[in-house]
Structure 1
Amino acid sequence: MSDFDSKQMSESSKPIHRRNVYIIGAQCTGKTTLAKALLERLQQLSSEAFLPDSSAPEPIPRSQHDDTPPPLYTPDLASPEPLLITELARQIIRDNPIATSDIRDSPALSLQLQTSILKAQHAIEAYLHHSSQPKWYLSDRSGLDPLIYTSLLIPPPAYVNLLASSEWDECKEYMREGLVIVCESGVSWLVDDGVRLMPVDAEEWKALHDQFVKVLGEEGIPHTVLPKEVVALEERVDFVLNCLREDRTGETGRD
């Protein structure tokens, strides 16, 4: 048995921490595919695979009544946990049509879109966190995503204003408590689906990834980079599960 196989067996025997997971990074890096596969794997595991529920964080008191209806785009609360927050930006673009060219060519429309995405992401996370029974969730984006695109595509002071927003202040704290996985750009499955903003070239794609890592560091958010060389979906899921087992924090690269 190889050292790698021995390490995998050792890791798989450790309990999984019920931490909220953010799978983030530049577009077309397999985030949604990974989030859905991770959800499926977690839901297949027995309760013995997880740390006891008593290890979960205490609920955050809600400033409003608990019967407040969930915000738009909230996942089905009756679904088995973890819940999956997915394709949020795509849903917002489809409900509020904006051409991908406008995201680059119209700073005003682009800022309106990024602000809407941040507010929607925050609303969902706040609702799930502040419930009397907080929900465990996975998300294929975060409140950071609209800040990154704003910083690279929209002139100042748009980025600084979003960075100072109350929505980002809360999202940042949620991310610090969770597990943040950054999918590295440069993978082989870059495809234009006509909805998402595509990178102009490999340099811009890498610049987006570098900006994610840079701002995570500046904002004090622990994170782990999922290397682009890890291509097989099963291995990518195992990578995230091992992070949950180790309860690892802090930036890692290609270990």
Structure 2
Amino acid sequence: MNLNNQYQNIYIIGPQSTGKTTLVNALEKAFASGDDSISSYNFTRPSIIREVARTVMKTCNFTRDDITNSPTKALRLQELILKAQLKAEEAVLNGSPSTSWFISDRSGLDPIVYAKLFVGEDAAQQMISSDEWKTLEERMKHGLVVLCEAGCTWLVDDGTRLMPKDEEDWLRVNSGFHEVLETLAIDNILMSKSILDLQQRVKVVLDAAHRANTSGR
């Protein structure tokens, strides 16, 4: 099915503070528990790819202010995040032990969206033309992409990630994800902001993954 993987990889993407990491952690817990909610889908256990952006920011001494105050630094940061995402995916698919599939907290598309919003269209196109993105794009187009919608009730500043100035700014990032997904013709499902129950969110992802895997998309 997915580039010789047994199952399609799952990407949880979207604007800041839309429950992405919480959802990934809940999916990981569900697979680790081996409870009925998982066994009924007949999935094997995936590897988990953690968000790479935080690690890149800390190890390379970037701050969130660099994203909004310095186009040069902002682009460099997003390029490094793109490379780190590719490295993380290759590590789980080709490492020892290797895995047949993964769930990723974010994707290679996320830094492209932020480059477009905070640097400009030319910067985004530069990243889209990169060899790293070509590999990541092919993988995403054979995977299940879950876009978490902005506008939910848990917007919290953790001191590290870029935060929207207000709801309008938050929705601008949300629109940016929709636009880039559409431009690159990457199919996705929307995790509605109205779905607040975490277990219901897990079920939405598992149901969509089951449909995608059984259809052989």
Q: Structure 2-normalised TM-score?
A: 0.87
Distance across 1 between alignment mates of 2:184 and 2:117 = 17
1:213 Cα deviation after fit: 1.7
State the Cα deviation string for residues 27-84 of structure 1 (Å, max 9, x = none): 110100000101111222368534587xxxxxxxxxxxxxxxxxxxxxxxxxxx4111
- Determine if contact 1:128/1:134 at 8 Å carries over to the other structure: yes
CA contact (8 A) 1:18 1:51 kept: no
For 1:44, which of 28, 33, 58 is the aligned residue?
Answer: 33
Point out 4+ residue stretches in structure 1 off by more than 4 angstroms. 50-53, 130-134
Q: Is the 8 A contact 1:35 1:140 kept in 2?
A: yes
SS of the equivalent of 1:84 reads strand
Q: Which amino acid aligns with 1:171?
A: L
CA gap of 1:155–1:210, structure 2 versus 1, over 3 A, is closer
> In structure 2, how many angstroms separate the alpha carbons of the residues matched to 1:135 and 1:117?
23
Distance in 2 of aligned mates of 1:86 and 1:127: 12
The 8 Å contact of residues 47 and 99 in structure 2, kept in 1 or not, is answered as no
Summarize the Cα distance change of 1:174–1:210 in structure 2 as closer, same or farther, 3 Å threshold: same
Match of 1:12 in 2: none
User: Per the alignment, do residues 214 and 157 of structure 1 end up closer, same or farther by CA in structure 2, a change over 3 Å counting?
Assistant: closer
Q: Contact (CA 8 Å) 1:18, 1:50: kept in 2 or not? A: no
CA distance in 1, matches of 2:22, 2:201: 10
Equivalenced residue count is 206
Q: Which residue of 1 aligns with 2:17?
A: 28
1:149 lines up with 2:114 in the alignment: yes
Q: RMSD of aligned C-alpha atoms?
A: 2.2
| Residue 116 (structure 1) aligned with residue 105 (structure 2) | no
Q: Percent identity between the aligned chains?
A: 39
Deviation digits for residues 65-108 of structure 1 (CA, Å, limit 9, x no counterpart): xxxxxxxxxxxxxxxx4111113111111112222112100111
Gaps of at least 5 residues in structure 2 are 1-5
Aligned to 1:216: 181
Higher helix share: 2
Counterpart of 1:228 in structure 2 is: 193
**Residue among 55, 79, 86 paired with 1:91:** 55
CA–CA distance in 1 between the matches of 2:119 and 2:42?
A: 43
Structural mapping, 1:14-25, within 5 Å: 18-25=7-14
Whichever of the two has the greater Rg, that structure is 1
CA distance in 2, matches of 1:41, 1:51: 13
C-alpha distance in structure 1 between counterparts of 2:99 and 2:17, whole Å: 30
1:218 Cα deviation after fit: 1.7
Paired AA for residue 168 in structure 2: E
CA distance in 2, matches of 1:130, 1:41: 24
Shift of 1:232: 1.0
Change in Cα spacing, 1:197 to 1:131, as seen in structure 2 (3 Å) is same
Distance 1:245 1:43 in 2: 18
| Letter paired with 1:105 | N
